[in-house]
Structure 1
Amino acid sequence: MTLSVRTVLSVLGVAFTAYLAVGGLAWRPVPHPLLLIAMLAIYLVTTWLCIFWPARQAAPDATAVLTAGLSRRFVLPGWAAAVALAVAAVVPSVTWYAAGPESRLESFATWSLGGLAALMAIVMVRRRPWVAWTGVVLLTAAATIWIGLLDALTLGAVGAVVWVGVAQLLTWLVDRAARDTAELTEVQRHASEWLASQEGRRRERRVQVWRALTVAGPVLTRTIETGGQLDDDERMRARLAEGSLRDELRGRGLLDDDVRRRLEAARRRGASVTVLDEGGLDGLDERGLQTIRAELAGILDQAHSDRLYIRTSPHDGIAVTVVGRSRSADDAEESVDLWHEIAQPPHA
């Protein structure tokens, strides 16, 4: 069975505080024994409550996700912190009162110095530093009043300051380590994303080079062999190859096999075709792109314009605009004879 850091620390905290409380049971006859037992019970209940009570998460962030146990920013509820502070103020004084003047320096009367120091260290770990230090001050003040400053320092007040200070230092160090881990993980994630994007670009360039060689290679070979003296059919193939390469470079997002065949058919009948993808398709999934390409292929299948302009649209709701222009026999200027807007797919 795998145990979390928090579980192990909780078990250790229970064992240690129980050990400290046992010292309060080894007492000889005192004026108010029931008060001593009550203070021990209140201390143990409060301490274990502070250890086990479900925490309120202060600020969820990458640190909380990447690390567990101490490094997660879990804060002791305010009411529980107030109870712990009240215990620190009341239990020592009542314990010394119950032990009587003759027994106030005995271990069963001074156990509260170590016990309350442990409680304040737990409160510190649960991210209530002001409450913890206030409890240490109250504990030291009560000890000074009941047994004197020198005895208070000798029997546990100094240890309380050390324990709470070490607890605060440890939580700070763990939090800093967790932040460094989160930052390192974020840097590694960005590096992985950059490497993945570079690999994708390299693959894309290889595909583009392969397609260019496939389309233009035979035409270039024939041009070199004939010294540029091409017949009409070869010139047509060269023009189609040039247009196909432009389409691949400028508007690859709009292309599939059907669209490519219809663009080639338009050029074979003599039309000038311009395809531009200027980012209007960014964010679309493959299904949305297939819907747009199918509609574009249908438009091109029915187009008879002399010039075709196919561009992605930056406007919301419109994915692609197709414009056709032609010149009639008795008109010196071209006029628009085709205008079609392809809407963004509903699921985009």
Structure 2
Amino acid sequence: MTFSVRVVLSALGAAFTAYLAVGGMLWTTPVEFPLMLTASVVLFLATTWLCIFWNVRPADAPSDQAITAGLGGRAVLPAWAGVLALANVAIVPSATWYAAGEAARLESFATWSLGGIGALMAIVMVRRRPWVAWIGVALLAVEATLWIGIVNALALGVVGAVTWVGLAQLITRLLDSAARDTADLTELQRASSEWLASQEGRRRERREQVQRALSVAGPVLARTVETGGVLDDEERMEARLAEGRLRDDMRGPRLLDDRVRARLEAARRRGASVTVLDEGGLEGLDDDALAAIRGELAQALDDAHSDRLYIRTSPHEKTAVTVVGRSRLDDDPDGEEHVDLWHEISRPASDGTSPVRDGADA
């Protein structure tokens, strides 16, 4: 559709300038230099059509000129073509009036260049050369004044040329403004769609967490209500494990898979206190990188025998997860805890290689 509109507008521009040029060939009186007059018409048509069709690639236009490009807008006119257009302003009107002769300078075939050059400057304006267009109009006005006088110049085409160029600039600016507004609205729509998608993802995640919580804690809660809170040791252990699983799912879901959950439950069953915290730093990692981190975390937990385990993500550029274990000495159960495990899981390299172990078990 865009291509069809552009072709139609280009064809209309070429047809209109050809119509103006034909007016220069309809001689109602003999002319002194017919070849010069014909050459000026040919030069005008060649330059005008070159300005219409040369380097027509809407994709070259800036993004805020998308509508203009779609409605016949063009890439910026090359500088040499702008110079050629100004050369036409200097040559074509003077050659036309000189070739027509002094007696015929006010005839329509001698003043056609006022409308023709005005149309050419309007085309130059649409092709993003406003200074060239206005310089051309000013030069045309001075030239016409010198050849036929200021009154005749204003009456026979200079006012129309100024009007065409001014309207071309106004319409171009309005279209560019509309293009910018459209781009802003498109960006807002994209941001809105992304926000809605993120909200839907969060709702889905919350639903999954609620379902998981019900599946984990539901049987324990039902048993607690059934017994009035009187649970045996095994049931109390299951309640503590359910609480731990829920806390893990809420505080560090990106660190968990079936292997890690099994290692955490095993640590809690032997009496260890386990804390899992996702404090950021894993954003942007793909599924393979997260799987590698979870695999190493499961291995580290499999070798852990600490009384307290702290598993935290890290925003550090090299470290993804830190695992710390603290225990009391066997011969001093009431003493201070000491670190008996320190393990750092490195952030996966940008080339997708698996993380390597940076820390060491204490």
Aligned counterpart, 2:15: 15
Seen in structure 2, the aligned counterparts of structure 1 residues 58 and 215 have a Cα distance that, compared at 3 Å, is closer
Q: Determine which of 320, 332, 342 is the counterpart of 2:345.
A: 342
Calculate the TM-score normalised by the size of structure 2: 0.91
Seen in structure 2, the aligned counterparts of structure 1 residues 73 and 197 have a Cα distance that, compared at 3 Å, is farther
Task: Using the TM superposition, name which of 24-33 and 106-115 deviates more.
Answer: 24-33
Residue 5 of structure 1 and its aligned partner are, at CA, apart by: 2.9
Structure 2 unmatched runs, 5+? 353-362
Distance of 1:94 and 1:85 partners within structure 2: 14
Residue 129 of structure 1 and its aligned partner are, at CA, apart by: 1.5
Residue 221 of structure 1 and its aligned partner are, at CA, apart by: 1.2
Distance of 1:307 and 1:187 partners within structure 2: 49
- 3-state SS of 1:314 partner: coil
**Does the 8 Å contact 2:220/2:238 carry over to 1?**
yes
Calculate the TM-score normalised by the size of structure 1: 0.94
**Does the 8 Å contact 1:64/1:73 carry over to 2?**
no
Amino acid of the structure 1 residue aligned with 2:346: A
Structure 1 unmatched runs, 5+? none
Give the total of aligned pairs.
348
Aligned counterpart, 1:260: 261
Distance of 2:233 and 2:74 partners within structure 1: 77
Residue 160 of structure 1 and its aligned partner are, at CA, apart by: 0.8
**Is 1:233 the equivalent of 2:234?**
yes
Cα deviation 1:159-199 (Å, max 9, x = unaligned): 11111111111111111111111111111111111111111
Amino acid of the structure 1 residue aligned with 2:172: T
Give the superposed CA RMSD: 2.1
Residue 276 of structure 1 and its aligned partner are, at CA, apart by: 0.6
Aligned counterpart, 1:26: 26
Residue 72 of structure 1 and its aligned partner are, at CA, apart by: 5.9
Aligned pairs for 1:1-348 within 5 A: 3-27=3-27, 28-54=29-55, 62-64=63-65, 68-70=69-71, 74-331=75-332, 332-347=335-350
Task: Using the TM superposition, name which of 59-68 and 32-41 deviates more.
Answer: 59-68
Distance of 1:36 and 1:5 partners within structure 2: 34
Amino acid of the structure 2 residue aligned with 1:341: E
Residue 58 of structure 1 and its aligned partner are, at CA, apart by: 11
**Does the 8 Å contact 2:68/2:172 carry over to 1?**
no
Percentage identity across aligned positions?
Answer: 71
Distance of 1:73 and 1:44 partners within structure 2: 19
**Does the 8 Å contact 2:65/2:175 carry over to 1?**
no
Residue 68 of structure 1 and its aligned partner are, at CA, apart by: 3.5
